[in-house]
Chain A
C-alpha cells in the first residue's frame, strides 16, 4: 500500500529537499522502514533505539496522532511528521 509522507523542514536534508515523499507499508512502522531504505538515517531522527517516538517529534496518519508504530496505514493516507522548531 502506498502512502504519502510529509517531511518537516529540519529533516529535508535527508530527502534532498523534498517536502513530500511516497512510501509503502501497512503500518507506521513499515512506512518508516520503507522511508529508511530510501533515505538512510532519517528513521532514527524520529524514533529511538526502543522504537519510541522521540519527544520532539509527532507523527500523524491523516489527522490521527500516532501513539504506537503498529498503527495501520491505508493506501492514500498522508503521514505527517512534525518536528519541534526553535526559530523565532
Chain B
C-alpha cells in the first residue's frame, strides 16, 4: 500500500521514526480497525487512529449523542447532540483525515451479528460500556483469532489489556464471569471526564504498535490506572487452562449472549412498576402489606435521599440477605435508574423468589414524575 505525496507530508513525524518508518506507515494505511463503542474510550482512540492514518476504521455504536456525553466524548461537539454517534463521528474523523475510510455500524453487537461485523477487520478495539458486549466481543475475537485491545473505566480508575489469541490470556481468563448491575456502570457511578482520554490513548498506542509490529504489547499484563493518585500498576495475568473460550476444553464454541435478563420466561416473571403506579400503591398505603420495599443502592446514595418505608440492602449484599425479606411479601426493588433493581430481580428469581417487582426508570423517574424534591444521589 503506497503513500501519496500528501500522505508522506501528513505522516512525516511517523516516517521520521526509524522504528516505524515508511513501511510502518504503509502498514497502517492498509490496516482495518474496528472500534466498539463511540464513547469515552472510543473517542480518543478513534481520533488518534484516524490521525495516525489507519486506512479503514469501523465504528460500532447504536446510540445518539447526549449533552451529558460531551464532558468526555471528544469526538462530538454541542452541534452533535441528538445525532447518531456513528454518523457524527464519521464526519469528525473524515474532517481530521480525509485520506482514510470510516465505516459506520449503527447497531448493538450481539451473538448473532458479532462475527459478521468483526470478520473483515484486522484488529478490534473494545471501549463498550456493557459487560455483556465485552464477553461477546472477546469470544468472537478468540474464535476469529483477532487481536483485541480492551479498556474499561469507572469513576477515577481504568484498566487496559491486550489479548492476542493463542499468545496469551483472553478477557475470560482475566474475569471468567461478571454481571451487569453487580459491576457499576459510569452512568450510575460517574466518571472523571479526562480518564477515558488516558485509557483510550493507551488503546490507540497498542493498536498502532501491533499493526506496525513494533514494541511490546500489554499481553498478559493488566495495566491499572488510578487518576486520583496518578498511579499505574501492572499485574500479571496468565491463560486459564479451564477458560470457557480459549482453554483446553472450551465450552463456548460460538458467540452467545449472556448475563442479562435475556430469558423471556424469566423476564415475564418480573413485575415492572412505573413511578406513577408505585406512587398510587404507596398513597393507598397498601404497599407495606404487599411489598417489601428494598433500595439496592449503595449506603451513601441511600443516605442522600430515599423513598419512605424503604430499607437499604446494597445489590452486592443482596444474595446473602435474601433471608431478611419480609415473609409473605413481594420484594420491590428500587435503585437510581432501574438497572440495579432489575438485576436484583434476576438474583431473586435465581434464589427461587417468585414474581419480584422493580421500579422502572428508578428513582430518577420518581423524581421526574412524582416528587422532584427527592435527592437522587449520583451512584
Contact = CB atoms under 8 A, between A and B. Distances in A.
A8 B233 CA distance: 12
Given A10-B154, A55-B175, A63-B235, A87 B316 contact: no
Interface in B146-203: 151-159, 174-180, 182-186, 189, 191, 196
Interface stretch (B50-58, B126-134, B268-276, B362-370): B126-134
Interface in A24-71: 41, 44-45, 49, 55-56, 58, 60, 63, 65
Contact of A56 (B39, B177, B237): B177
B300 A84 contact: no
A83 B183 CA distance: 8
Nearest to A65: B236
Nearest to B314: A41
A75 interface: no
B226 interface: yes
Main secondary structure of the interface of B (DSSP, over half): mixed
A1 B316 CA distance: 29
Contact of B39 (A6, A65, A88): A88
Interface of A: 6, 8-10, 12-13, 19, 41, 44-45, 49, 55-56, 58, 60, 63, 65, 80, 82-88
20 contacts: A9-B157, A9-B189, A10-B154, A10-B184, A12-B155, A41-B316, A41-B317, A44-B316, A45-B317, A55-B177, A56-B179, A58-B222, A80-B224, A82-B159, A85-B159, A86-B178, A86-B183, A88-B126, A88-B130, A88-B151
